[in-house]
């Protein structure tokens, strides 16, 4: 039994032609994960959770972000309806950013996630150490 030549032909039936496999069922999660995925969205949300901020204040509140990524990120958040922008036409110009109702809600969800990571950060760090000794060099 267990001839190595048999299972070579047992076709994998690779989910037969799924084109782009766009989830179909669940999704909508993708949009959320995309925001969570990029480097800055969450940080900006967290900063705005403390209240309305101007562009410069926001930049200062999110250490390391470039002006470009700040504009791009805020624009994406605005597009998704998480953030609102108010422009005061003065010299020098002023622009205020604040969370929308949905933004606040999202902020709460993020906070819950932060809670989870706080409760498990030691366990994760430990797991990584173990992995490093058992599989040195990998990843």
Asked if 49 interacts with its own copies (CB under 8 A), we say: no
Per-residue x/- marks for its own copies, 69-88, CB under 8 A? ------xx-xxxx-------
Contacts of 6 (CB under 8 A, 6+ apart): none
Task: Provide the token pair at 56.
Answer: 């410069």
Find the helix or strand (DSSP H, E) in which 30 lies.
helix 29-37
Q: Which residue from 9, 11, 15, 51 is in contact with its own copies, where contact means CB under 8 A?
A: 15
- Rounded to a whole number of angstroms, the CA Rg of the chain reads 23
User: Can residue 98 be called a binding residue for DNA (CB under 7 A)?
Assistant: no
51 binds, among its own copies, DNA, none (CB under 5 to 8 A by kind): none
Beta bridge pairs of residue 114:
none
For the CB of residue 6, give the shortest distance to its own copies in the complex, in Å.
9
Cα 122 off chain centre by: 22
Site string for DNA, 54-93 (x = CB under 7 A): xxxx------xxxxxx-xx-xx---------x-x----xx
Torsion of CA 9, 15, 17, 19, to 10 degrees: -140
Question: Is 110 strand, coil or helix?
Answer: helix
Q: Using the minimum distance from each CB to its own copies, give the nearer residue, 5 or 51.
A: 5
Q: Which residues bind DNA (CB under 7 A)?
A: 7-8, 10-12, 37-40, 54-57, 64-69, 71-72, 74-75, 85, 87, 92-95
């Amino acid at each position: 039994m267990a001839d190595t030549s048999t299972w070579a032909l047992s076709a994998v039936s690779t989910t037969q032609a799924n084109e782009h496999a766009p989830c179909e069922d669940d999704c909508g999660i993708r949009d959320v994960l995309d925001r969570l995925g990029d480097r800055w969205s969450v940080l900006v949300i967290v900063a705005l959770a403390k209240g309305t901020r101007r562009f410069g204040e926001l930049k200062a509140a999110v250490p390391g972000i470039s002006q470009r990524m700040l504009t791009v990120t805020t624009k994406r958040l605005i597009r998704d309806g998480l953030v609102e922008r108010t422009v005061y036409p003065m010299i020098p110009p002023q622009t205020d950013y604040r969370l929308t109702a949905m933004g606040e809600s999202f902020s709460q969800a993020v906070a819950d996630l932060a809670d989870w990571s706080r409760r498990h950060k030691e366990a994760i760090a430990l797991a990584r150490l173990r992995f490093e000794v058992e599989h040195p060099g990998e990843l």
